[in-house]
Amino acid sequence: MSLPAPKPQSVWRAARLLRVQQAGLMLVILFLGAALTAFAGRHRDPLSGRMVNNFLNPNTLLQTATDASFFAIMAVGATMVIISGGIDLSVGSAFALSGVTMALALRAWQPVGALAVLLGLPLCVGVGLACGLLNGLLVVGLRVHPFIITLGTMWVFRGIAFVASGAKSILVPDALTDTVKASLGLGQQLAPIPLLATLGVAALGSVFLSRTVAGRHIFAVGGNAEASRYAGLPLGRVYVLVFALAGLTAGVAAYLGGAFYGSTSCADATGYELYVIASAVVGGASLTGGKGSVISAMLGALLITLIRQSIRTLHFDQNYEWIIIGCAIIVAVVLDRASAALAEKRLSRTAPESASAKEASP
């Protein structure tokens, strides 16, 4: 009896690559990027005089990454909330409140130079962290579904920002803008700080979820809260932790956004709740909990930004942006449910086979 020929090493590598969680997202992003490159057209660079692609050039690529960075950072914390089985609708309002509080405080204190940067960052992040802690404590203390709690705090946080700012845009010190928009030697029109900050937050979030005990607890609680309770896991602490991290990332994003654009207002990050949740869900996070990845959420944020970029670059009606993103969420959830159903069928088939094999063995 002849044994089947072993598969070539390249075939094994290709199969392993396709099984990676992020492979599908990366293929879609590459396809969309190729389509944009093909149909975006070309223009003459005013500095070099050469013809360059309207999409495939350093300025547009970095601007696309910058556009994605502000809600992609918030998607890191929101993904942890979703993995735990919760939802946070208040991240955009926490963003606005953090930025407005920082701008008002710096306007009152009038610090100069590096002192403004040193005071602004911890203040902005601290307000975001406080918003997240409040959400977590209300969810645990009142035993109300996170959807209801964060729906209420979404209006509360933005209302406080509205009253405090008087519905006006508040300038931040130039030192913050100079720091966040530093070119780092790449050219006057390039500002890589938001992108680098996004990559750093994503790396820290990925290590936290995959390499720490607290990260494993988040997955366990989201996968089966009752089993986790019987196993002795502190469910209340886990819920407070994930909401606190969601608020903290909102504060980081608010600092970068306010410093990058030079001002803050109570209307900042309006509608970012959709983008943040869509990034996590499109990235494969399950709204029922127990499944998700920070890296996939970042790729989901990039994909959503590319969709927005393609609508602008190809001169489509921008009113269709919300429709397309909403459809992307629905498709992602349907695919997730279909994948879960297939996994259950495979488990139900393999269970009798393994049981019969044990009975047949001497």
pLDDT (tens, 9 = 90+) of the chain, 362 residues, equals 444 444 455 444 544 444 455 677 788 888 888 888 888 788 777 766 788 888 888 888 888 888 889 889 999 999 999 999 999 999 999 999 999 999 999 999 999 888 999 999 999 999 999 999 999 999 999 999 999 999 999 999 999 999 999 989 999 999 999 999 988 877 667 788 999 999 999 999 999 999 999 999 999 999 999 999 999 999 999 999 999 999 999 999 999 999 999 999 999 999 888 889 888 888 888 888 888 899 889 988 988 888 888 887 777 777 777 787 778 777 777 776 676 677 667 767 765 555 555 555 55
Write out pLDDT tens, residues 154-207: 999 999 999 999 989 999 999 999 999 988 877 667 788 999 999 999 999 999
With respect to residue 351, please indicate whether it lies within any of the assigned structural domains: no
pLDDT at 361: 55
Which residue segment(s) compose the domain that 169 sits in?
78-308
CB 235 within 8 A of CB 141: no
pLDDT at 132: 97
pLDDT at 264: 95
pLDDT at 204: 95
With respect to residue 322, please indicate whether it lies within any of the assigned structural domains: no
Query: Using CA atoms, how far apart are residues 351 and 362, in angstroms rounded to an integer?
Result: 19
Query: Using CA atoms, how far apart are residues 71 and 279, in angstroms rounded to an integer?
Result: 9
With respect to residue 22, please indicate whether it lies within any of the assigned structural domains: no
With respect to residue 359, please indicate whether it lies within any of the assigned structural domains: no
pLDDT at 11: 44
With respect to residue 157, please indicate whether it lies within any of the assigned structural domains: yes
With respect to residue 25, please indicate whether it lies within any of the assigned structural domains: no
With respect to residue 276, please indicate whether it lies within any of the assigned structural domains: yes
Write out pLDDT tens, residues 222-259: 999 999 999 999 999 999 999 999 999 999 999 999 99
Other beta carbons less than 10 A from residue 5's beta carbon: 6
Residue with tokens 């975001």: 128
Number of independent structural domains in the chain: 1
Dihedral sign computed on CA atoms, order 228, 232, 296, 198: positive
With respect to residue 147, please indicate whether it lies within any of the assigned structural domains: yes
pLDDT at 348: 72
